[in-house]
Amino acid sequence: MFKKSRIKVLIKPLGDFDILHFLDQLEAAARLYGCEPELSLDRISLQDEDYNVSRQQYDATKVLSRLLEFKKNDNKVIGITSADIFVPSLNFIFGLADIEKGVALLSTARLTSFWPKIEINSSLINERVFKEAAHELGHLFGLAHCYDPFCIMSFANSIKDVDRKLPMLCSDCLSKVWEIKYI
């Protein structure tokens, strides 16, 4: 039992992202899964060839692949960027996870926008970053999208959906994490 409890989550900045600004939220997202967060201050440069000029966004799949070299053993890797990212089927995405490879990507570009038109405050932004980092990590720990709109693992199509979520996993997802971790 507890054989996977030492899995580490490597937190890696991409581009000019100021990772220290959201460190508490990113570490809390890793700890939600009982993992030890490991911060890497060496940033990965965003590549011009990963940028889609007509969309003015980075190709999330290509950026995600840049993280693969940092994946070791059972550890997971999450890269964070302030650049706007996309996959071909969607206008934008908050993040992307490759479950097979154990790497995930989070973009704060759309998390720093606001809905509805309220005074933005950093605690709201911080909570969004925590929720979406925890969402992408949830995929890496085997969770699929959840139909409970208040669960971190529900799919967010808009910032409104992100704000609707509670900063926690529903009881179903939580029990799945425990099953996956401790069987």
Helical ranges in the chain per DSSP H: 23-31, 60-65, 122-140, 159-164, 171-182
Selected from 30, 35, 129, 153, the binder of Zn ion by CB under 5 A is 153
- Residue 42, classed as helix, strand or coil, is coil
Site string for Zn ion, 23-62 (x = CB under 5 A): ----------------------------------------
Choose one: 7-15, 100-108, 120-128, 145-153; the region binding Zn ion (CB under 5 A).
145-153
Whether the bond into 116 is cis, omega within 30 of 0: yes
Which residue number, 120 or 155, has a Cβ lying nearer to Zn ion?
A: 155
Contacts of 100 (CB under 8 A, 6+ apart): none
How many CA atoms are closer than 13 Å to the CA of 149, on its beta-carbon side? 7
Choose one: 58-66, 98-106, 116-124, 146-154; the region binding Zn ion (CB under 5 A).
146-154
- Can residue 146 be called a binding residue for Zn ion (CB under 5 A)? yes
Selected from 9, 44, 134, 170, the binder of Zn ion by CB under 5 A is 170
- Shortest distance, position 117 Cβ to Zn ion, whole Å: 27
- Can residue 14 be called a binding residue for Zn ion (CB under 5 A)? no
Q: What is the distance in angstroms between the CA of the first residue and the CA of the last residue of the chain? A: 7
Choose one: 50-58, 85-93, 121-129, 149-157; the region binding Zn ion (CB under 5 A).
149-157
Which residue number, 39 or 87, has a Cβ lying nearer to Zn ion?
A: 87
Considering just the CA atoms, what is the radius of gyration of the chain in Å? 15
Orientation of helix 23-31 relative to helix 122-140, angle to 10°: 40
Residues 60-119 that bind Zn ion (CB under 5 A): none
Beta strand pairing status for 8-13 and 76-81?
A: parallel
- Can residue 151 be called a binding residue for Zn ion (CB under 5 A)? yes
- Shortest distance, position 156 Cβ to Zn ion, whole Å: 8
DSSP string computed for 63-97: HHHTTGGG--TT-EEEEEESS-EE-TTSS-BSEEE
In the residue annotation, 136 being an active-site residue is answered as yes
Residues in the site for Zn ion, rule: CB under 5 A?
146, 148, 151, 153, 170, 173
